[in-house]
């Protein structure tokens, strides 16, 4: 009996150790961006397409004040309420003291400068597909923004979701950097549309349903989802849910007006504000991607 007990304890310790290793943060290799020079002007386009200000400006900010990334917006979910942090260049309350490598690990790996997992309310699972040049350009632009001394507010997340190490297990299940719309021969427009939709603009984060653990159901990609705040639904973009033409989609992203003469509302208004600042070619690329989706979102 004593021998059996010892065996069970040893097996438990081995399993716990393996779990600890498997759930450890997985940062980018050191020197991943060595020799890549950032261009702040190009970074502004990345910043706009990625919607950074939409989530990180202070509640109620308007106009140029949206470039003060003080944070504080609340995002309700089944797992608690997440509050966007201060990501301005302030060295004490923002990310001004971060290195480029620390910024890249947060954006593309969901790993904080202190080595903790970040919650996937920050869409790093989409940003992981970002190109190296775009990441470096984004960092260059963000350092030009005005600082804010507003302290970040803690997330309102209870047990067991406040155990950050458990997010390592979540990442093992759901952190998939592969393209949802597969293929290397999509053509220039569709490839750009895929990059904007699946990476920078992270459209799947809202328009794709999730399972009980909060993982995206890639087999139902962009087919619509319940609103995380519990009110209403976020519409699907697949052909069985959206009958708009590519021209209609591009026009909506530019103006916020639908073919039925309705206008955009809610958080989507911020998305349209971002897309209206992008090029006509980028809006057309997104429209081409949407029209290339299969019914129900089931990719090959």
How far is it, in rounded angstroms, from Cα 223 to Cα 217?
10
Structure tokens of 268?
A: 């989507």
What are the DSSP calls for 196-235, one per residue? IIIIIS-THHHHS-B-TTS-B-GGGTTS-EE-TTSSSEEP
pLDDT tens column, 234-247: 999 999 999 999 99
Question: Phi and psi for 257 in degrees, rounded to 5?
Answer: -105, 135
How far is it, in rounded angstroms, from Cα 237 to Cα 234?
10
Between vectors from CA 246 to CA 288 and to CA 244, what angle results, nearest 5°? 130
For residue 22, the model assigns a pLDDT of 66
Nearest alpha carbon to residue 205 among 232, 184, 174, 182: 174
Q: At what angle do helices 246-255 and 280-291 cross, to 10 degrees?
A: 130
Q: In which residue are the tokens 């591009």 written?
A: 250
For residue 24, the model assigns a pLDDT of 81
Non-local CB neighbours of 93 within 8 Å, separated by 6+ positions: 86, 148, 149, 150, 151, 152
pTM for the predicted model, two decimal places = 0.91
The DSSP letter of residue 72 is: -
Segments of the chain with pLDDT less than 50: 5-6, 8-16, 20
The DSSP letter of residue 103 is: H
For residue 7, the model assigns a pLDDT of 52
For residue 228, the model assigns a pLDDT of 79
For residue 275, the Cα-to-chain-centroid distance in whole angstroms is: 16
């Amino acid at each position: 009996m004593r021998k059996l007990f010892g065996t069970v304890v040893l097996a438990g310790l081995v399993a716990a150790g393996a779990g600890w290793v498997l759930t450890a943060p997985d940062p980018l290799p050191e020197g991943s961006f060595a020799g890549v020079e950032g261009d702040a002007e190009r970074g502004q386009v990345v910043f706009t397409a990625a919607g950074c200000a939409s989530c990180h400006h202070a509640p109620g900010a308007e106009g140029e004040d949206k470039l003060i990334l003080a944070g504080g917006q609340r995002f309700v979910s089944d797992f608690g309420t997440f509050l966007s942090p201060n990501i301005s260049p302030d060295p004490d309350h923002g990310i001004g003291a971060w290195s480029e490598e620390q910024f890249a690990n947060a954006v593309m790996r969901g790993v904080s400068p202190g080595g903790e997992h970040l919650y996937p309310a920050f869409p790093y699972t989409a940003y992981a597909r970002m190109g190296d040049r775009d990441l470096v350009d984004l960092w260059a632009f963000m350092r030009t923004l005005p600082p804010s001394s507003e302290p970040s507010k803690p997330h309102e997340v209870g047990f067991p979701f406040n155990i950050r190490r458990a997010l390592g297990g979540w990442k093992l299940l759901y952190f998939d950097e592969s393209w949802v719309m597969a293929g290397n021969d999509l053509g220039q427009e569709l490839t750009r549309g895929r990059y904007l939709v699946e990476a920078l603009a992270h459209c799947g984060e809202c328009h794709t349903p999730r399972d009980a653990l909060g993982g995206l159901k890639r087999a139902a990609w962009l087919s619509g989802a319940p609103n995380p705040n519990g009110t209403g639904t976020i519409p699907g973009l697949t052909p069985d849910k959206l009958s708009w033409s590519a021209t209609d989609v591009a026009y909506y992203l530019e103006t916020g007006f639908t073919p039925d003469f309705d206008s955009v509302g809610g958080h989507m208004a911020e998305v349209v504000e971002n897309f209206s600042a992008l090029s006509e070619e980028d809006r057309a690329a997104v429209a081409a991607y949407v029209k290339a989706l299969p019914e129900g979102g089931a990719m090959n």
